[in-house]
Structure 1
Amino acid sequence: MKQFLRYRFSTVLGVVGAGQMGTGIAIVGSAVAGLRVRVVDVNEQRLNASHNFVSKWCDKEIQKNRMTDQIKTDVLQRFSFHLQMSDLASCDFVVEAAPEKFEMKAEIFRQLVKATKPETILASNTSSISITKLAGITDRPDRIIGMHFMNPVPVMKLIEVIKGLQTSQQTLDTTLELASKMKKEIVIAQDIPGFIANRILMPYINEAIQTLHEGIGTVEGIDKAMKLGTNVPMGPLTLADFIGLDTCLEIMRVLHQDLGDSKYRPCPLLVNYVNAGWLGKKSGRGFYKY
């Protein structure tokens, strides 16, 4: 098995955030890469939900004959769940998977800098926020990098790796090796808002919402037109519900603010849905009811 200890990479992966993305990252870290994983979240209920999700995910893999009971036991034994950032002190690599809000991520990085060793690499799962900007608030900007996983993480093959202005080659090499160990395909994107995937995807979703807002088509009609007309597996409004409308709005706001182009202005209907608490599948209602 390929090793990456030459880059001072330990067998312990830290993950900050026990939501859908953080849990998915932790799963591929343990089940695919074979690493010990420490998941940290300030919410004990989320940690318990994450633990339960991992166990149920393993059960589904067993039902599909992709995992045995013994492998499940091994995967779960490599997991630990924590409420304190200090429990990541021995990790050499930590991935932050918090909501797409700069100040929230910045505060997590400030805490991580205090909690981890100076040589620890800190990666953000941000899908739009500047890695260079995040690195600038730390005392180790050369060890900050973007590692944008796609949702759902155990299923989607892609990771966007984003090198900030200050990111060292060694940090990039270590990150690429971790992604390879997770059996992911890799694209390297420039540190420009939205990177590659969301620079293209979010304006597409936003325009679909604008099309609905203007009454050009119904929810079902818009999704059907794009699914059957362009052969995508999921219509844009279904996809928005799956991603989370609040996440879509945050990304569009980053694009609009940082790029300064009116074409990235969030559709008013998207803003209203988020204000109403209609966030998509996770809230039980978005463009569809769940």
Structure 2
Amino acid sequence: MDVLYKIFIEPFALMGSAPDLLVQTVWEGLVAGVLYALIALGFVLIFKASGVFNFAQGIMVVFAALTLVGLHEKGVPAWLAVILALVVMFGLALTIERVVLRPLVNQPDIILFMATFGITYFLIGFGESVFGGNPKVMIADELYLPRGVTDVEMLGGRVSFQHLDVAAAIIASVMIAALAVFFQYTRIGRALRAVADSHKAALSVGISLNQIWVIVWFTAGVVALVTGIMWGARSDVSFALEVIALKALPVLILGGFTSIPGAIVGGLIIGVGEKIGEFYWGGLLGGGIETWLAYFIALAFLLFRPQGLFGEKIIERI
């Protein structure tokens, strides 16, 4: 009976008695959720173009952030380092298209999926050899990312808003909105949707599959760089960020692998769910809920709605 009370009554009683703590928890979850959505967007773009889950997106976040910090450590000014990091990500996209993707056109999806594993471990080894394995400090001050905190009196208590979290939420939201508009209403976006439907059909109407893949992988690289800057400013830049980036997998399962709105909604659900679960039920379950709750939620969705909230239900004739 005591266990049932702690599970079903005590957390909600605490929410009602300390609403300021609930607002604080939800805010932190929203910030994490927006960043999860930004990571998931990189997966969505590549999945829409190739029909394959890009396992390498996580390490691309780490590689982009390490490139930026590594260039600055070599004496390159911060904003020039950002531009050069984008050039590196474009070169990476071009190399992946020429060396990996072009020879695998019209191959089974599992072949392309396994190719992303190869890209992942190549970038891990190459990154460690160039940048080393030690964590690095993100150049947040040099990029004029805000520091400090603002306390707001509300609901009988005080809610703290980290300026970095506010900036991260705004930057991520603007980028998500801009990419959504770009791929929904531009010629490239229409070509991307055609490629997603059928590689052969897209080629038959004159769409260059190779160019689309370069554009999409470079866009995913830009997303990876922004994500790496935001997450790196909240913690150190290290290969551990790859694990955080893979939180996009449950986000995609919730929202649907081909849906940009789904990536946004899924990211917010996962972010807020993790924070609330950790704060109100973490003590009962021994803590560490944030490491596995997202995957538990994803498993529940796979059982009852495998296509996700915004995914298309596939119907095949037999």
State the TM-score, normalizing by the size of structure 1: 0.23
Larger radius of gyration: 2
**Structure having greater relative contact order (Cα 8 Å, sep ≥ 6):** 2
Kindly indicate which of the two structures has a greater share of residues assigned to strand.
1
TM-score between both structures, scaled by the size of structure 2: 0.22
